[in-house]
Structure 1
Amino acid sequence: MRQQMMIDLDTGIDDSLALVYLLASPEARIRGIASTGGNVTARQVAANNLAWLDVCGAPDIPVALGAEAPILDELRTSEETHGPQGIGYAELPAARRELSPLSAAELWVKLAREHEGTLVGLVTGPLTNLALALDLEPRLPEMLSRLVIMGGAFHHPGNTTPSTEWNISVDPEAAKQVFDAFGAAETHPLPIVCPLDLTERIILRPDDVSALAEVAGVPGEVIAPDDPLGERSTSPNPLIRHLSDAIRFYMEFHRAYDQGFIAHMHDPFAAAIALNPHWAKTRAATVDVELSGTITRGTTVADWAGMWGRHPNADIASDTDPEAFLAHLVERVGSFAASLTADGQR
């Protein structure tokens, strides 16, 4: 049975691949997309989401503009990681679609009410829109079938400060509001949190991009470490070309920070968990977010042993088979790319 989904992205290179993966998944039916400021501004995120839908020949899916700043802080973006438009070197055609008249928070609530008990929520960016949706509909935790969050770091260094992960650090107040709300509701199943502890094991390498193109029927796609910076794909398949150009930028970024010529694909893994939680082993905990620490603001803290005396509010993804997941990702997205014509039709 197809799963009804509301997805909230700050698109973003790995968010882009997550979106394409879900569009390629026959078991997913995306009912709405929220555009959250994070990797780039909310308006650029919305433009990216609309353009990817065109490239993928997707049906009409409402894309809503989210809050343009976090609840308390000014928005910080990460163009050095994802490129000036958030999609690396990819140059997507201008979208032919228009934004929904609803705000992202309103779209969250509308879909939760229309699909109460069956809607799966996925957030791969800051939690601002979901927090604002909770202000509109406090029952939201009880209305969702499942919620998956890419965010946080527990037994792993942060990627923003020594202890903080990017999505949580952009809007710590929103993250705390969401975790507190799900804890108070004592919902089952608990939200699944995919932290850096696990997602940094999801590593895409140049050979995976070549394999993706092979599956799509366009062999010869090569991203090599000794290529000139900014080399562009010439693939005749538009989806492969755009993904390759986005991923190349991401690999160059990781190499510049001494992580190797690789790309951590946090968000596609979270998308897969949203469709099939069995991709990961999880462990229940009570999660809270530090707001006032002078050097730890935005840090996620997990109480694994019940020391706080509070109900668990999250299932934290702790283990998976990265190679099996990457093989699945390559096969699914590559096959989808093979089904598209040059103008994004299927």
Structure 2
Amino acid sequence: MAQKLLLIDTDCGIDDAQAIMMALAEPTVKVVGITCCFGNTTVDYVCQNVVKVLSVCERSEIQVFRGACCPLVGGKNDFTDHFGTDGLGDVLEDRDSEVWKDKIQKEHAALAMIRLASENQGKISLVAVGPLTNLAMAVRLDPTFPRNLKDLYIMGGNMEGKGNMTPCAEFNFVMDPESAYVVLEEYLCPTHIATWEFTCRNTLPWWLEIPLDAFTYMVNQDTAAAKFMKLITSKCWAFSKTFGENNRDVHFGQGFVPYDSFAVAACIDQRTVTDSIQCPVRVELQGSLGRGMLALDPTNMLKKSHSASVMKSCDQTKFCKLLMASLNQP
């Protein structure tokens, strides 16, 4: 059976690194390229982080493309420091090396997207796990680009009006609301969205049937990927666990949330999603509180001709198997 072709667009922080590893570990998938966007950190750090992940997994043959350094409209947004200044926990010792620059292709990420989709019409699944700026740029450069995709998977937005950056908006969308709006209005290919609430409602419990929490069990595998994940999460893991336990009403329960991996898992195996709602969606661009919020429209009051599949629940057994495999490499 032919491998599924994946193109990953990322703002590579820690959860992005986990998601990329999941795609790399799956034998039914071929990653045809990784495009980089600002978000968790600067686009240069993002490129550097992707190159590092590929090196750890011994997959440096995969091409990496530099993309947007700021939103489509307006000035630069402030970066979150949740994953450290560099997006990977500020723990890597070889940050002064310039070798990574030789690994970045000269072609801009948006142009690479257009070219790869044109060369593989109807075969590429695009998985976007950062701000959607590169995707918006691609459709502005070539309005036919989305129709050349097989489908689109997004980690971003929200489905209940609960935010993690503002009271109503999720990080990836609020970092560039205009781009999120453009993508969800103009990409007519099948679109699947893993919202922030969906990922939080499917948190993985800290405790398994073994006397270790699930996260510790995974990162203590004797592999390069697991050791790398243990390193880059060494500073933020304890904080995340304590924060989740102390904010159960916000985060829907205790557990850890590999946010971006949910979108990759759904792309790899749609059976990981056990329930979803198919409806029109739109990104709100106005207001001091609502800007960047994803609005669902089950009754199609917007009179849109296309809709998106918004994930609601997950098969955690299938998901955990993919997550475990992601760190069992190279």
TM-score range, shorter chain: 0.7 to 0.9
Provide the C-alpha distance between the structure 2 equivalents of 1:300 and 1:169, rounded to a whole number of angstroms. Answer: 10
Residue 154 of structure 1: CA displacement? Answer: 1.4
How far the C-alpha of 1:262 sits from its partner, in A, is 4.8
Asked if 2 retains the 8 angstrom alpha-carbon contact of 1:21 and 1:268, the reply is yes
Q: Does 1:306 align with 2:303?
A: no
Does the 8 A contact of 1:284 with 1:312 survive in 2?
no
Query: Which amino acid in 2 is paired with 1:166?
Result: F
7-16 or 74-83: bigger deviation: 74-83
**SS of alignment partner, residue 59 of structure 2:** coil
For 2:108 and 2:314, the matched residues in 1 are separated by 35
CA contact (8 A) 2:170 2:293 kept: yes
Q: Count matched residues.
A: 311
Distance across 2 between alignment mates of 1:159 and 1:103: 30
User: Contact 1:291–1:297 (CA<8 Å) still a contact in 2?
Assistant: yes
In structure 1, what is the equivalent of residue 259 of structure 2? 266
The amino acid of 2:129's aligned partner reads T
Is the deviation greater in 193-202 or in 9-18?
193-202
SS for the counterpart of 1:80 is: coil
CA distance in 2, matches of 1:265, 1:76: 24
Question: Secondary structure of the equivalent of 2:103?
Answer: coil
The residue type equivalent to 1:194 in the other structure is A
The answer for the alignment partner of 1:325 in structure 2 is 319
Q: Is the 8 A contact 1:35 1:63 kept in 2?
A: yes
Q: CA deviation at 1:241?
A: 2.1
Q: Could you tell me whether the CA contact under 8 Å between 1:251 and 1:262 is conserved in 2?
A: no
Partner of 1:230: none
- The residue identity in structure 2 corresponding to 1:25 is E
Shift of 1:311: 2.1
Q: Is 1:135 equivalent to 2:129 in the alignment?
A: no
| Residue 318 of structure 1, CA deviation | 1.1
Paired residues of 2:3 and 2:30 also in contact (CA < 8 A):
yes
Contact preservation (8 Å) 2:225, 2:327: no
Q: Tell whether the 8 Å contact from 1:209 to 1:244 is kept in structure 2 after alignment.
A: no
Residue 238 of structure 2 is aligned with which of 225, 233, 252?
A: 252
What residue number does 1:194 align with? 194
Percentage of matched positions with identical amino acids? 27
Instruction: Work out whether residues 6 and 33 of structure 1, in 8 Å CA contact, stay in contact via their aligned partners in 2.
Output: yes
Q: Decide whether the 8 Å contact of 2:40 with 2:83 is kept in 1.
A: yes
CA-CA distance at 1:105 after TM superposition = 0.3
How far does residue 209 in structure 1 lie from its aligned partner after superposition?
2.9
5 Å matches for 1:187-226?
A: 187=189, 190-204=190-204, 205=206, 207-213=213-219, 216=221, 218=222
Q: Is residue 283 from structure 1 mapped to residue 277 from structure 2 by the alignment?
A: yes
> For residue 103 of structure 1, what is the aligned residue in structure 2?
108
Aligned to 1:86: 87
Tell me the distance in 2 between the aligned counterparts of 1:75 and 1:264: 27
> Runs of 5+ in structure 1 lacking a partner?
219-236, 341-346
The two structures have a TM-score, normalised by structure 1, of 0.84
Any conservation in 2 of the 1:90–1:243 contact (CA below 8 Å)? Answer: no
**Residues 1:284 and 1:14: Cα distance change in structure 2 (over 3 Å):** same
Q: 1:301 to 1:213 in 2, by over 3 A?
A: closer
Q: CA deviation at 1:213?
A: 4.4
Alignment of 1:125 onto 2:125? no
Assess if the C-alpha contact under 8 Å between 1:11 and 1:86 holds in 2. yes
- Tell me, what secondary structure is at the counterpart of 2:198? helix
Q: What is the rounded CA distance, in whole Å, between the counterparts of 1:100 and 1:195 in structure 2?
A: 31
Residue 154 (str. 1) matches residue 159 (str. 2)? yes
TM norm structure 2: 0.88
Contact persistence 1:89–1:248 (CA under 8 A) = no
The answer on 1:316 being equivalent to 2:310 is yes
Q: Please report the RMSD computed on the Cα atoms of aligned residues, expressed in angstroms.
A: 2.1
CA distance in 2, matches of 1:253, 1:267: 19
The residue type equivalent to 1:169 in the other structure is V
Q: Which sections of structure 2, spanning at least 5 residues, go unmatched?
A: 207-211, 249-253
The answer on whether the counterparts of 2:81 and 2:87 sit within 8 Å (CA) in structure 1 is: no
- For residues 160-215 of structure 1, what are the alpha-carbon distances to aligned partners after superposition, in whole Å with 9 as ceiling and x for unaligned? 11110000000000011111102xx4x4xx2001101211134354622332245x
Residues in 2 aligned to 1:20 and 1:92: alpha-carbon distance in whole angstroms? 21
Post-superposition offset of 1:70: 0.3
